């Protein structure tokens, strides 16, 4: 897993996903957020040393701390 690929995954799990699910019900969006949490934990568990931007750190923190609304708002900035 390269740095570039991890940044790409974070972008796909945030900005792009939030845009794709904008018209789905809140319940479905929250379910997708749960999948994001599982997927991100798998990616980050590979112990790859990546230098994250402040926004990426905030997004990862929101995901890990189950802060759905915060993640959704931050994702629009990424």
Determine the pLDDT at residue 23. Answer: 94
C-alpha span between 55 and 35 (Å, rounded)? 20
Compute the distance between CA of residue 31 and CA of residue 68 in angstroms, rounded to an integer. Answer: 10
**For 2-6, what is the mean pLDDT?**
86
| pLDDT of amino acid 44 | 81
Q: What is the pLDDT of residue 47?
A: 64
Tell me: the pLDDT tens digits for 17-58?
Answer: 999 999 999 999 999 999 999 998 888 876 667 889 999 999
Q: What does the pLDDT read at residue 49?
A: 79
According to the 3-state scheme, what is the secondary structure of 53-69?
CHHHHHHHHHHHCCCHH
Instruction: Describe the crossing of helices 54-64 and 26-44 by its angle, rounded to 10 degrees.
Output: 110
All structural domains of the chain with their residue ranges: 3-75
């Amino acid at each position: 897993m390269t740095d570039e690929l991890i940044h790409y995954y974070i972008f796909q799990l945030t900005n792009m996903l939030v845009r794709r699910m904008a018209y789905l019900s809140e319940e479905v969006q929250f379910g997708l957020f749960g999948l994001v949490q599982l997927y991100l934990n798998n990616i980050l568990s590979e112990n790859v040393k990546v230098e994250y931007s402040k926004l990426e750190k905030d997004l990862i923190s929101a995901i890990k701390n189950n802060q759905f609304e915060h993640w959704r708002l931050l994702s629009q900035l990424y």
